[in-house]
Amino acid sequence: MIDHRIPEPFHEGELRAQQLAGGGPAGAPIRSQMPDQHRQFFSLLPFVYVAVADAQGWPLATLLHGDPGFASSPAPGQLRIAALPDPGDPAAPHFRRGAEIGILGIDLGTRRRNRENGVIAQVDGEGVLVDVHQSFGNCPKYIHLRQLVPVARERGGIEAFGGELLPDAVRLIAECETMFVASASGGTAQVGARGLDISHRGGEAGFLRLAGNVLTVPDYPGNRYFNTLGNLLLEPRAALVMVDFASGDILQLQGRAEIAWQNGALSDARAERIWTFSIARGWLRRAAFPLVEHHNIRQ
């Protein structure tokens, strides 16, 4: 049996983050191809979260959705997603052949999640084919359980803004329990460990703290890979996406991150450190998510 694990899966930023945090993982089952369980898992999902980069190299975080089966793996080294970003999604123009991409498949009903990072090999009118370079699972900690079902929504408009947030964006952040961050390893990472990544951050409503246009994010104990924080050490530009699961509103943000490795004034006892995200710009896409929590369905 061929072992497709990557000999040194971590780039210099991740290794530095592990050092600053007091140590990395005992092992790192990061593979260059998708194992069968990942291939099967993606075929069950109605949506995936995605990271791409814009023309200036800023990460963008978004999501793609479809009926279960819209994501499939025709071969261990490939992932096909039969969907493209919605019109008006700021990420839409940047789905192109040769572009780096990070993908997170997550089942909020079981807390299971797997990540795939790679390059877009093909783009057509139906979706994208991704050549997978990294495939790995994540622990289920801090994922808020949700049972989501399809819902018919009347799409709203798209509101763009700068560092001064819209009131509904402020409210969404205050109520957020599930957030995703897109980051990039930067041009100095070695081939095989470089690229885009998207990961989950979660907690109780209020775990994200907003002051003006600066968002403070607690960093809870995890798998100690430090993919996101390692990326931010090399490239502080990042992006966030979060969903109001009741209204279907999707909030996308771009900004710059800064990590506080030692912080004696943590208000969250579980956090090992914090990082801040200074918001540069954002988009609020109204009623753009086609699923709703089961308990929010009108009887």
What's residue 240's pLDDT? Answer: 98
Per-residue b/e over 133-146, b at no fewer than 16 CB within 10 Å?
bbbbbbeeebbeeb
Which pTM does this prediction carry? Answer: 0.92
Q: What is the pLDDT of residues 62-108, one digit of tens each?
A: 999 999 999 999 999 999 999 999 989 999 999 999 999 999 999 99
CA distances from 269 to 43, 220, 254 (A): 38, 9, 28
Reply yes or no on whether the pLDDT at 121 is more than 80: yes
Reply yes or no on whether the pLDDT at 23 is more than 60: yes
Reply yes or no on whether the pLDDT at 238 is more than 60: yes
Reply yes or no on whether the pLDDT at 230 is more than 80: yes
In sequence order, what E strands does the chain have? 47-53, 59-65, 71-75, 78-81, 100-107, 112-124, 127-137, 148-150, 158-161, 178-184, 196-202, 209-211, 214-219, 237-243, 250-260, 273-285, 291-293
What's residue 191's pLDDT? Answer: 42
Reply yes or no on whether the pLDDT at 268 is more than 50: yes
At residue 222 the predicted structure's pLDDT band, cuts being 50, 70 and 90, is confident
At residue 16 the predicted structure's pLDDT band, cuts being 50, 70 and 90, is confident
- Classify the phi-psi angles of 270: left when phi > 0, otherwise alpha if psi is within -120 to 50, otherwise beta: alpha
CA angle 162, 168, 170 (to 5 degrees): 70
Percent of the chain with pLDDT over 70: 90
Q: What is the pLDDT of residues 242-259, one digit of tens each?
A: 999 999 999 999 999 999
At residue 189 the predicted structure's pLDDT band, cuts being 50, 70 and 90, is very low
Q: What is the pLDDT of residues 153-168, one digit of tens each?
A: 998 999 999 999 999 9
Distance, in Å, from the CA atom of 182 to the CA atom of 237, rounded to the nearest integer, reads 9
What's residue 82's pLDDT? Answer: 98
Average pLDDT, the chain: 89
Reply yes or no on whether the pLDDT at 187 is more than 60: no
What's residue 13's pLDDT? Answer: 87
Report residue 55: phi and psi, to 5°: -65, -25
At residue 1 the predicted structure's pLDDT band, cuts being 50, 70 and 90, is very low
